Copies of this chain bind each other. A is one copy, B any other.
Amino acid sequence: MKRPKHAKSVNQIPGTMTYVGRKEAAKTQLDVIDYNQEHYERYRSTTVEDAFNFVDEDRITWFNVDGLSDVEEIKKLGEYYELHPLVMEDIVNTGQRPKIEVYRDYLFIVAKMLYHKDGNIENEHISMIVGRNYLLTFQESNGDVFNPVRERLETATGRIRGRSADYLMFALLDSIIDNYFLVIDDMSDRIEKLEESLFVDKPNDNITIEIQELKRTILRIRRSVFPLREVVHRLEKLNNGLIHEKTINYIQDLSDHIIQISENIDIYREMIWGLMDLYMTTISNRMNEVMKVLTIMASIFIPLTFFAGIYGMNFEYMPELQWKYSYFVLLGIMVIIFFAMLYYFKRKKWL
């Protein structure tokens, strides 16, 4: 998870649309789905004008824009639906945190999509405009997180085709939140793997780097997920006709899920912080082991070497040197000392 750049270009004029994301290459693409209970049509285009021909007043229209670099096309869409300039700015401002803004004719929701890519957790900016009979979604790159919803629309599975635009919004938020579960499950796996590796491998700096990396990741996930609680909470309380009463129950369900994810994030956070302590004790334990080996070796052989040193001295008058068995007696004493020391360390439980 790379560090995101700051939220907007410094000193730009407020209300100006400037795409600050990292996925500059992604070409902007429009995907329009027009549906009601009986009808379903899908259309792809790269220009907004093209797409407009397709909109039918009697149906619910879902505009999905993949890629935010083509600011001009997005602007045309925004002007068609009379969006506020600050809303337009936030759509392409990938640093914007999750929020909800209530306008007279539409809701503006910003969320973050989290998913895995090449072992990293990617963070993608998603904005939604929910109107009375249309829904606009803006994604940084064309991912497939909304595909299951498209399939349900196409095959008319479940209640989705018979409901209004707010239910479609719920379905999309639901699939975003579903992906959070995958991401935090993965966090949990990484924590467990790290824990195990602490007790198996030899200690190295890589582990601390990984722990620090994990800390950073969980803090960033937290930042993407926690504001969404507030968003969903405000959706629940909303009372301006854009959210139908029937949908409220489903939004409460979202609320449950997002709280559950938040709780898990906080638990994993504590576990990760605990990992560092764990690592410290592991290092200390190993140090203890090392020191014991040294102490045992030194404590046994240093005194023995001293005794050998004594009888290596060249004094002319050292009576023991002449005695016939003194060498063997000394060897015997050394063996006894050796085993006495071993016994001493055994009793101290160092062996």
Listed in ascending order, the chain A residues whose CB lies under 8 Å from chain B are 3, 5-8, 10-11, 13-16, 84, 86, 89-90, 95-97, 99, 101, 148, 152, 157-160, 170-171, 174-175, 178-179, 181-182, 184-185, 188, 192, 195, 199, 202-205, 208-209, 212, 215-216, 219-220, 223, 249-250, 252-253, 256-257, 259-260, 263, 267, 270-271, 274, 276-288, 290-295, 297-299, 301-306, 308-318, 320-322, 324-327, 330-331, 349-350
Is B97 within 8 A of A288, CB to CB? no
Q: How far is the CB of A319 from chain B (nearest CB, A)?
A: 8
- Considering the chains assembled together, what is the distance between the CA atoms of A42 and B108 in angstroms? 40
Is B312 within 8 A of A321, CB to CB? no
Is A205 within 8 A of B291, CB to CB? no
Is A6 within 8 A of B315, CB to CB? no
- Residues on B with C-beta less than 8 A from A349 are 202
- Residues on B with C-beta less than 8 A from A170 are 14
- Residues on B with C-beta less than 8 A from A279 are 281
- Considering the chains assembled together, what is the distance between the CA atoms of A287 and B223 in angstroms? 37
By secondary structure, the A interface counts as: helix
- Considering the chains assembled together, what is the distance between the CA atoms of A178 and B99 in angstroms? 20
Is B215 within 8 A of A96, CB to CB? no
What are 29 residue pairs bridging A and B, where the CB atoms are less than 8 Å apart in the complex? A6-B184, A8-B257, A10-B178, A10-B179, A10-B181, A10-B182, A11-B148, A15-B158, A86-B253, A95-B260, A199-B209, A203-B288, A208-B285, A215-B270, A220-B267, A274-B276, A276-B277, A283-B285, A286-B288, A294-B299, A297-B298, A305-B305, A305-B306, A306-B308, A308-B309, A313-B314, A315-B320, A315-B330, A318-B327
- Residues on B with C-beta less than 8 A from A90 are 256
A312/B308 contact (C-beta < 8 A), A280-B284, A299-B297 known:
yes
- Residues on B with C-beta less than 8 A from A14 are 158, 170-171, 174, 250, 253
- Residues on B with C-beta less than 8 A from A175 are 11
- Considering the chains assembled together, what is the distance between the CA atoms of A338 and B331 in angstroms? 22
A327/B313 contact (C-beta < 8 A), A184-B6, A270-B215, A291-B287 known:
yes
Contact of A288 among B215, B271, B290 (CB under 8 A): B290
Give the nearest-CB partner of A215 in chain B.
B274
- Residues on B with C-beta less than 8 A from A302 are 297-298, 301-302, 305
Give the nearest-CB partner of A345 in chain B.
B293
Q: How far is the CB of A289 from chain B (nearest CB, A)?
A: 8
Known: A90-B256, A302-B302, A309-B309. 4 other contacts (CB 8 A): A8-B178, A277-B280, A290-B350, A291-B294
- Residues on B with C-beta less than 8 A from A99 are 256
- Residues on B with C-beta less than 8 A from A212 are 195, 271, 274, 278
Q: How far is the CB of A243 from chain B (nearest CB, A)?
A: 15
